[in-house]
Homo-oligomer: A and B are copies of this chain.
Amino acid sequence: MTDRTVLIVDDEKPIREMVEFSLERSGFRVVEAGDAAEARVAITDHQPDLILLDWMLPDTSGLDLARALRRENMLGDVPIIMLTARTEEEDKVRGLEAGADDYVTKPFGPRELIARIQAVLRRSGGDEAEENLEIGPLRIEIAAHRVMVNDNPIHLGATEFRLLKFFAGHPDRVYTREQLLDRVWGPNVYVEERTVDVHIRRLRKALDGTGAERFVQTVRGAGYRFSTRE
């Protein structure tokens, strides 16, 4: 439900924009690709939670791309929804064999699309978010949008909250400033990389004296990491 990234692969920009508009209104992050090559880059860069894949692409068919991605194991269990103008049963079968999880037939409306996406995500993924995260003295209450340290609330700006939430959900792993901007600020936001430093600083300051400030770690030359160890 919350904060999932959807990759839309379609060569027609108007369709991509319609999809982006609808999905962002529903709280998804949206990444676009116009062809198979762009799609591969986007998958690597943004690690989407779901892929909307047009049947026809300029450089290859969506079917082939889906099959290739599954074969190359680039996706794990990320679901694929095919977008197609065709309605033949035969195509559906072939698409499902290629690794698609569902179909949407053009033309489609935003409600239908969102219903399908949520149905597929509900099936394939545990909704990971939503429950509270507890790390040492920290408790991140997602629903309440609140962070407690030893049962005392601490105040964070919206950006610091998202940053901490992301970190807490992905511990023991270094993220570059670029990756953090992508995952915390969003894929279509362009700010200076050094901005990350400033928010790291603000997060540390907010956690100062709680015993949790040591979890936010700098990895020189690489980025930042959230970890209880070290």
> Which residues of A are at the interface with B, using a C-beta cutoff of 8 A?
87, 102-103, 105, 109, 111-112, 114-116, 118-119, 122, 141, 143-146, 153, 157-158, 172-174, 219-222, 225, 227, 229-230
Residues of B within 8 A of A153 (CB): 229-230
Residues of B within 8 A of A174 (CB): 143-145
Q: Could you tell me the distance between the alpha carbons of A158 and B145 in the complex, rounded to whole angstroms? A: 28
Number of copies: 2
Residues of B within 8 A of A112 (CB): 105, 112, 115-116, 119
Q: Which of B115, B143, B227, B230 contacts A172 (CB 8 A)?
A: B143
Chain B: CB-nearest residue to A89: B109
Contact B225–A144 (Cβ < 8 Å): yes
Contact A143–B111 (Cβ < 8 Å): no
Residues of B within 8 A of A141 (CB): 172
Q: Which of B105, B109, B144, B230 contacts A173 (CB 8 A)?
A: B144
Q: Could you tell me the distance between the alpha carbons of A174 and B142 in the complex, rounded to whole angstroms? A: 9
Q: Which of B87, B102, B145, B221 contacts A219 (CB 8 A)?
A: B145
Known A-B contacts A105-B112, A112-B112; the reply to A173 vs B143 at CB < 8 A is: yes
What's the minimum C-beta distance from A160 to chain B, rounded to whole angstroms?
Answer: 11
Q: Which of B122, B144, B158, B220 contacts A220 (CB 8 A)?
A: B158
Known A-B contacts A158-B220, A158-B222, A222-B158; the reply to A144 vs B227 at CB < 8 A is: yes
**Knowing that A112-B115, A146-B172 are A-B contacts, what are 11 other residue pairs whose CB atoms are under 8 Å apart, sorted by A's residue number?**
A102-B111, A115-B116, A118-B119, A141-B172, A144-B172, A144-B174, A145-B222, A146-B225, A146-B227, A157-B220, A158-B220
Q: Can you identify 17 A-B contacts, CB atoms within 8 angstroms?
A: A105-B109, A112-B112, A112-B115, A112-B116, A112-B119, A114-B119, A115-B115, A115-B116, A115-B122, A118-B119, A144-B174, A145-B174, A145-B222, A146-B230, A157-B220, A158-B220, A158-B222
Q: Could you tell me the distance between the alpha carbons of A158 and B221 in the complex, rounded to whole angstroms? A: 7
Q: Could you tell me the distance between the alpha carbons of A157 and B228 in the complex, rounded to whole angstroms? A: 21
Q: Which of B119, B221, B222, B225 contacts A111 (CB 8 A)?
A: B119
Q: Could you tell me the distance between the alpha carbons of A38 and B212 in the complex, rounded to whole angstroms? A: 55
Residues of B within 8 A of A102 (CB): 111
